[in-house]
A = this chain, B = another copy of it.
């Protein structure tokens, strides 16, 4: 299992981690298999979506803030229920296929770390499984 450290600077942030994951895959020289990316934090998640235009990330954050406002008469007193809900919806993990030493991603797909209650120092776990 490989750990990746991520520092966020805002409350809501979507950070591109595609190259970090790519570097890990290429070091391991995997012909065939898959990898699991797992976030061990309850206000964060992993998103696969368009990476070319940063406005897509902006729109995801803003629209989700609009639907799940920070303050909404939540019972949980830490002021981050919105982030817990969004984390549950984006999901704590992603699974990506590997062939010939490369992740199988679409032309526009990037891998993102989502944080909804930053700024924080976070980590993600990556584990590669080889097909034998």
A residues lining the B interface (CB < 8 Å): 1, 34, 36, 38-42, 47-50, 53, 55-56, 58-60, 63-64, 67-68, 72, 74-78, 81, 84-85, 87-97, 99, 104-109, 125, 127, 129, 131-132
Contacts and interface: CB of A to CB of B under 8 A. Distances in A.
Contacts of A55: 74-77, 81
Nearest to A76: B55
Chain copies in complex: 3
A48 B107 CA distance: 25
Nearest to A68: B63
B92 A92 contact: no
Contacts of A127: 34, 97
A106 B40 contact: yes
Contacts of A131: 129
